[in-house]
Structure 1
Amino acid sequence: MSAVRRHDTPPPRTGSSESEVLRGFLDYLRASVAAKAAGAPEPQVRTAAVASGTNLLGLVNHLAHVERATFLGERVTDWQGTFQAPPDATAAEVIARYREAVERANEVLDGCTDLSAPLSRRHRPGRPGPSVRWALTHMIEETGRHAGHADILRELIDGATGR
């Protein structure tokens, strides 16, 4: 296995508003996760590399569900099941679905001018959603955590490192 070493991309230079900083860092992490999975060979991209069963493509699939649940209000009934990509989906399809979830989430965020305002919860009427600020902070934490996992899993697959 010959290690591919990419140059690290430094954290983003964002605008000065709270929203620009939060969204800039979230988009930076989202791009890192998608890049880690892109080009990873089958079947290793979906093969568990650690005792917990975590695999690279499963992380991408999970994050797509978290994006849709957090920003689009979609309901997830089996969170553990989101850690496995559909067996009939190619890696490219799973990554495309993640990017689509991010795009749809960004469309929602583009309409949010008040970080304190609650996000819509169409599947839970009468129950307010979290504030936009909380949702952005949560997604930075969630995506950053799994981006770290993705770094390790990709290196275990083929030695690729860097963003």
Structure 2
Amino acid sequence: MSPTPPRRSRRDTPPPRTGSSETEVLRGFLGYLRESVAAKVEGAPEPHVRTPGVPSGTNLLGLLHHLTAVERATFLGDRVADWQGTFHASPEDGVADVVARYREAVARADEVLDQCADLASPVPRPRSGSPSPSVRWALTHMIEETGRHAGHADILRELIDGATGR
């Protein structure tokens, strides 16, 4: 990564105007953050997209790979044995592969959420032996998790090629 990347920006997308129900607000903000983080990874150049931007090893592609695992665990019931390992995409995975898997996980998670009319009910995920969180908790957690990593992605993408904006 060059120490002074060229300044490139794109239009900043404001937060969504959602409906007035709690579900519409939560799902609207989660959708907004999901799209923001995916857009940060799309078009990012190799090998910089997987090059750590900070001493902890965090990289742009790894963030989206991790968020895919979180979506799948939260809404689809996937078990994750090594959360730290989810921060690293396979060397064979290109940007398009990781983005496509993320978008597919989001689409499947949205299918689950489409079936949930009551925010207080548990997420209907196929995981036995472990209680599911409420839909409200799951949505709030995903907003927090995705927003946190979207902020990391903002910084990492700007360090790579100067791209800013949501």
Aligned to 1:62: 66
Following TM superposition, the consecutive aligned residue runs of length 4 or more in structure 1 with deviations greater than 4 angstroms are none
Q: 1:77 aligns with which of 70, 81, 95?
A: 81
Residue aligning to 1:146: 149
Name the aligned partner's letter for residue 158 of structure 1. D
Where do residues 59-138 of structure 1 align in structure 2 (5 Å cutoff)? 59-125=63-129, 127-138=130-141
Distance 1:103 1:44 in 2: 27
CA contact (8 A) 2:112 2:124 kept: no
Query: Conserved in 1, the CA contact under 8 Å of 2:65 and 2:98?
Result: yes
Deviation track 1:36-64 (CA, whole Å, cap 9, x = no partner) reads 00000000000101000000000000000
Q: What's the % identity of the aligned pairs?
A: 73
1:37 aligns with 2:41: yes
After TM superposition, give the deviation of residue 120 of structure 1 in Å: 3.0
Shift of the alpha carbon at 1:121? 4.3
Looking at structure 2, the residues matched to 124 and 58 of structure 1 have their Cα atoms a distance apart, in angstroms, of 29
Q: Distance in 2 between matches of 1:98 and 1:60?
A: 7
Match of 2:160 among 137, 146, 157: 157
RMSD over aligned CA atoms reads 0.9
1:5 and 2:18 equivalent?
no
Q: TM-score, normalized by length of structure 1?
A: 0.97
Offset at residue 91 of structure 1 (A) = 0.8
Aligned length in residues: 162
C-alpha separation between the residues in 2 aligned to 1:17 and 1:120? 21
5+ long unaligned stretches in structure 2: none
| Aligned counterparts of 2:39 and 2:45: Cα–Cα separation in 1 | 13
* Structure 1 unmatched runs, 5+: none
